Amino acid sequence: MILSHKTWSVYIIGVALVLLFLTNISIGSVSIPLAKVVATIFSFNDGSDTIASIIWQLRVPKAVTCVLAGAALSIAGLLMQTLFRNPLAGPDVLGLSSGASLMVAFVLLIGTSSASYLPAVSPWSLAVAASLGSGVIFLIVIAIAHRVRDNTSLLIIGLMIAAASGSLVSVLQYLSKAQDLQAFVIWTLGSVGGTHWSEILILLLLLLIGGTIAITSVKALNAWLLGDNYARSLGINIKKSRLMIVLATSLLAGGVTAFCGPIAFVGLAVPHLIRLLIPTTNHKVLIPMVSVGGAALLLLCDIMAQVPGSSNILPLNAITSMIGAPVVIWVVMRSRGVKM
């Protein structure tokens, strides 16, 4: 059987996801051979040896977090690009991550004085606060987007909102205690290593809710590509589907930001990388594919963040930006300006 380019791409992305997942687990301050990783995972050996406990206590949660966060951010990015019909929209670009950061800053810097990373704050309250933060910013951006019709202005407004909430965060930082500040600064660098199973469960739940809303909105999302008026003429309830998309995006972006920090560029870049491999505008294909692709990309970024043979870990945001920035430049150059 001859496979089409499209089918091949799907298989390649799928295989890459599995390989990256296993590699991600094997790499770290202690290097674990792939064979051992596979053996441990597939025998569900949670025995007492150190390797097994490293794998189950540290590495697997981190890899699973990568998968969930990558998928969630990429779906959020795709939804935003479609909603604004703007190829440069993304949770970090339009200020959603900043909104979440602001709320997290409130919780972390004002709430407690514990010095530990992700302190005694309940993960639920963090998730709720971050989702609320991104949701509110999203609604503000939409309200403004309704008045300014062109893409460039929207991006500039998104940047300004991000800057404004960023400055509020700085004020909070200035006023807060040193220990809290350190935890917050580490959080802003982005990390997938600080999550425990309880947080992963929340992340999974948010991904499932957000993903389900996205999948059940494929009709509206596809029609949205034609513009509000055409979508309406095809029987799409614009207000309702916009609200659903805002809800899904806020849950997805807010949840990830709560537990992993404001991870830059993944949501923006992955939809473009996937469209490059699988040229389609159909969200029925795009949503599953960007979630797999986003998971794979974040696993790769996390692998790159591990300095080989050392316990040093580079900030995740440094790596994602390194990959994301060229993608943005490429998008702008290819479309000769900011348009979809």
- Residues binding other proteins (CB under 8 A): 85, 87, 216-219, 222-223, 225-227, 229-230, 232-236, 275, 279-282, 284, 339-340
Residue of 272, 267, 60 lying closest to 158 (CA atoms): 267
Minimum CB separation of residue 185 from other proteins in Å reads: 39
* Residue 82 CB contacts under 8 Å (≥ 6 apart), including other chains: 221, 224, 225, 245, 283
CA separation for the pair 209, 215 (Å, rounded): 10
Give the containing element (helix H, strand E) for 144: helix 123-147
Local structure of residue 61 (DSSP, 8 states): H
Report yes or no: 301 and 319 within 8 Å, Cβ to Cβ. yes
Amino acid identity, position 2: I
**Of 170 and 280, which CB lies nearer to other proteins in the complex structure?**
280
For the chain, give me the number of helices (H) and strands (E)? 15, 0
Q: Which residue matches tokens 């440069």?
A: 88
Shortest Cβ 214–other proteins spacing (Å): 12
Smaller CB separation from other proteins, 13 or 107? 13
Residue closer to other proteins (CB basis): 204 or 215: 215
Q: Of 33 and 227, which has the nearer Cβ to other proteins?
A: 227
**Measured from the CB of residue 83, what is the shortest distance to other proteins in angstroms?**
13
Q: Among residues 122 and 281, whose Cβ is nearest to other proteins?
A: 281
CB of 263 to other proteins, least distance (A): 25
Question: Distance between CA atoms of 37 and 59, rounded to whole angstroms?
Answer: 10
The dihedral formed by the CA atoms of 27, 29, 33 and 38, expressed in degrees to the nearest 10: -60
> 232 vs 242, which CB is nearer to other proteins?
232
CB of residue 230 to other proteins, shortest distance in Å = 7
Dist CA 30 CA 144 (whole Å): 50
Choice between 235 and 308, CB closer to other proteins: 235
Minimum distance of other proteins from residue 101's CB (angstroms): 31
The residue (of 181 and 238) whose beta carbon lies closer to other proteins is 238
The residue type of 293 is G
CB of 275 to other proteins, least distance (A): 7
Q: How far is CA 140 from CA 12, 74, 89, 134, 293, in A?
A: 39, 22, 15, 10, 29
